[in-house]
Amino acid sequence: MRFKLIIAFVEDSTTDAIMHAAREAGATGCTVINNARGEGIKENKTFFGLTLSSQRDVVLLLVEQHLSRDILEHIGEVGEFDATPGTGIAIVIDVEDAIGVIHQSEELEDIVEEML
């Protein structure tokens, strides 16, 4: 079984909705890294020398390759990534190898076979 890694950078207020959307689209789990920082095309605003920026979370999803596009599109719709600037981005990276995912592979075999 082949896997892809979806990495989504989202506002912390939408993390739960993104996780729920990913599960609806076929993801079997995720990892969330809190308190990430970053900038988009516009610089963060400052106030008396303090930078005002919204908190971000990084959501990591190791998913079966045939499910990756549906999951990516679904979290993009729910997170309104293309509709509203600054709400988040998501990328997909090929995974060469993975261990510790036997339980996911067994659960996903039937789902993927139905798709093919």
Greatest C-alpha distance within the chain:
58
- pLDDT bracket for residue 87 (50, 70, 90): confident
Using one digit for the tens of pLDDT, what is the confidence trace for 28-66?
889 999 988 766 666 666 666 655 566 789 999 999 999
Residue identified by tokens 């082949």 is: 2
CB distance 26 to 59 below 8 Å: no
What pLDDT shows up at residue 115? 65
60 pairs with which residues across the strands? 7, 31
**Mean pLDDT estimate for the chain:** 85
What's the pLDDT at 39? 65
Q: What is the pLDDT of residue 62?
A: 95
Of the pLDDT bands very low, low, confident and very high (cuts 50, 70, 90), residue 93 is very high
Domain segments of the chain as ranges: 3-39+50-97
Overall pTM surpassing 0.75 (yes/no): yes
Among the ranges 39-48, 66-75, 92-101, which has the highest mean pLDDT value? 66-75
Label residue 26 left, alpha or beta by phi (over 0 means left) and psi (-120 to 50 means alpha): left
Q: What is the CATH number of domain 3-39+50-97?
A: 3.30.70.120
Where b means 16+ CB within 10 Å and e means fewer, 74-104 reads bbbebbebeeeeebbebebeeeeeeeebeeb
